[in-house]
Amino acid sequence: MNEPILITEVADGIATLTLNRAEKRNALSHALVQALQEALAGIAADRKVRVVAIRGAGKDFCAGADLEELERIQQMSREENLADARSHGALFVALRELPKPVVAVVQGRALAGGCGLATACDVVLARSDAELGYPEVHLGFVPAMVMAILRRKVGEGRAFDLVARGQRVSADDAREMGLVAHVYAVPSFEDDVARYLRDLASRPASALALTKGLLYELGDLGFAEGIERGAQVNVEARMSDAFRKGVRAFLDRSRLNGGK
């Protein structure tokens, strides 16, 4: 019996999606992209899940496109190529629109489409020996769809340098430019990742959903519009059960401590 190309596990409010093609360095095939989309659709409706982690089996997170698929797309028509590209784009949109934080857990190599997948997540946690990059230019290719996200994360100048030169960067350099949020040492990596995910999952789900939605919505709004939208989200948060419980607990603690 063949193993699934994507393993989904849910525990303690955390859904872990593991790319399970270690023998191919978790290369992104069309089937794997579809499996990710289907898993995210199910997670969106699962109230038990508060945080999503995407990681790769074996030594690498994801080293890019499947070589067999690279050969296949050369035989495809323009319309077929566009449909295939749009399926990858739909995955990025699904990650962005999911009202739950998505964390990429990166070890080894995250290259080309693999780096694009990590970049499309809300947060990237990297092991100190990880390598990230967009080497598509060396094949005459362009990491086109991820640029809509990349330019927001690292700025236009750095985004252009990354995709135009196609060089790999270390985990520390990726953190310095804003591509990675946290870098953890190899010996403590799994423990540090687990601690981060537990901490994130302990936050009120309604607050996380409002925070994520507003953050990305602001990219398409002018300053005054952004302030107005922020005011509306502020009111939504104030009227949530999580806020009421949080304020009540805070006030109770404050009274017990004499207002300190």
* Confidence at residue 249, expressed as pLDDT on a 0 to 100 scale: 72
In this model, does residue 247 exceed pLDDT 90? no
A 10 A CB-CB count for 116 gives 26
Separation CA 85–CA 103 (nearest Å): 23
pLDDT reported for residue 258: 60
Asked if residues 109 and 117 have their Cβ atoms less than 8 Å apart, the reply is no
Residue 214 is predicted with a pLDDT of 87
Average pLDDT for 154-182? 96
Please state, in angstroms and rounded to a whole number, the distance separating the CA atoms of residues 80 and 61: 28
Q: How confident is the model at residue 83 (pLDDT cuts 50, 70, 90)?
A: confident
Mean pLDDT, rounded, for 119-145: 93
Q: What is the pTM of this model?
A: 0.89
Per the CB < 8 A criterion, the answer to whether 188 and 129 are in contact is no
Q: What pLDDT does residue 226 have?
A: 67
Q: Does 102 have pLDDT greater than 60?
A: yes
Q: Which pLDDT value is given to residue 243?
A: 65
pLDDT at residue 124, as a whole number? 98
Catalytic positions are 136
